[in-house]
Structure 1
Amino acid sequence: MLADDPHDGELDIIAANRAGRASGLTTFTPLPRVWSPVVRTVLRVKSWFGPDRTLRRLSFIHMAYWVMVDRFPGETRRRRYSYLMFVSNFNGSWLDYIDVFSRAVPQKMVLLWGSSFGFPGPMPPRPFTDYIRGNDWHLSHYFSAYPGATATEIASALRVRRGFTDQLADPQDLDDAALVRHWRRLLTDVQRDL
């Protein structure tokens, strides 16, 4: 008889945190309270500069957000540890997503998670993936407004809609020649998005 795979329950969490092509990830990683102000400052500075340029180019990421948690709702006292909460929505494989963070921005992963208990470092990717998986939470509810579409497809559709609005806002007011010109300009402008 084969032994049970220790990751079977974790794969159930990954499957439950999915709606169509979109997946959700929520982690809580504990860190010594002494590091809380430092990590909070890093997050504040990060918010001033906006999303990381490297991560913005990864069109499969809908959003990624970090926040420090010192007290959970209903608690009157602070916990012994602070928690770094990471929330993200993305398209594609959970393992590939974590692997991209590990490889694309390893120094930023150290900056954010470096003070958390048990953080193995971003490289090699397997221990980092196991660390994130171990801190991933099953979501009670996960919703995707467009479960059949990727973030790239949604962005493309929005650019096409904006092009229609800009080029063909009032087509009834255009003569045939102008309508053809506007239509061709629209197709030229949005051809990569079709």
Structure 2
Amino acid sequence: MSNIAGKAYAMNVLTPMSPWRTWIQNALFTVARVFPHQLSGLLGLKLIHFARWVIIRRNQWPDPAGRGPQAIDNDYMLFLSNFNGTWDQYIDAFADGIPQGLDLFWYASTKYPHSIPISTFKSYITANQIQTNYYYNATPGAAQRDIKAALRVREELLDLARQHGTSDQAAFAAAYKSALARLANSLASPGYAPIASLATQNADVARKEFIRALVAKREAKHA
């Protein structure tokens, strides 16, 4: 799947907005910037690399072919995000973490059903999601937490290297043990990437069971 690179998933959602409602969405974005507590639930989600909402007006679309302005009826809002985990995990975490924030950011989008109930919100995202044709990830084997853990280890090692030349053996041993204790939760293996699609996993399991049953049937027939 082109949306996936290692442990990361790229999401792009393009939703139409009536031009007369675009100013409302701009005003709501301003409110979110002035009162950032609306995003406190989002900032606490460690699986998210970043999330961004961009308003694209009818006259702002590129014209690479030089054909002039296109006849577009709607403005659009483009949502971009990178995250670790599965699609369902991400949507569930978003809806649980900032349900009011989601309603704020998609308020002006056409036929937006609100984030609760979650089933209609997922259907809305699915209907408007654009698949990623090419997705580059500089650290495909590492999640956001893995990278932060690696940076903590790096800082501690650099600090130990600085102390090594100026400390005696006992002082350095104490500093080493102290650093090791601080890094206890940062030294684990990053592990494997999560399964991107539970439907795919279930299909693989069903296929294996079918093949196993088919082989057993043939063996019983020739026994």
Q: TM-score, normalised by structure 1?
A: 0.84
Identity between Structure 1 and Structure 2 (%): 31
Q: Does 1:60 align with 2:47?
A: yes
Q: Distance in 2 between matches of 1:170 and 1:140?
A: 48
Q: Distance in 1 between matches of 2:150 and 2:71?
A: 46
What's the offset of the Cα at 1:45? 4.1
Q: 2:151 maps to what in 1?
A: 158
1:84 to 68, 77, 98: 77
What's the offset of the Cα at 1:133? 1.0
Q: Which range is displaced more, 87-96 or 179-188?
A: 179-188
Q: Does 1:26 align with 2:15?
A: no
CA contact (8 A) 2:38 2:98 kept: no
Partner letter of residue 60 of structure 1?
L
- What is the aligned residue count? 180
1:41 to 27, 42, 51: 27
Unaligned runs of 5+ in 2: 188-223
Q: Distance in 2 between matches of 1:182 and 1:32?
A: 62
Q: Distance in 2 between matches of 1:149 and 1:72?
A: 35
Q: TM-score, normalised by structure 2?
A: 0.73
What's the offset of the Cα at 1:119? 0.9
Q: Distance in 2 between matches of 1:129 and 1:52?
A: 20
Whose radius of gyration is greater, 1 or 2? 2
In structure 2, the CA distance between the partners of 1:34 and 1:60, relative to structure 1 (3 Å rule), is same
What's the offset of the Cα at 1:63? 0.7
Q: Distance in 2 between matches of 1:90 and 1:101?
A: 11
Cα RMSD (Å): 2.1
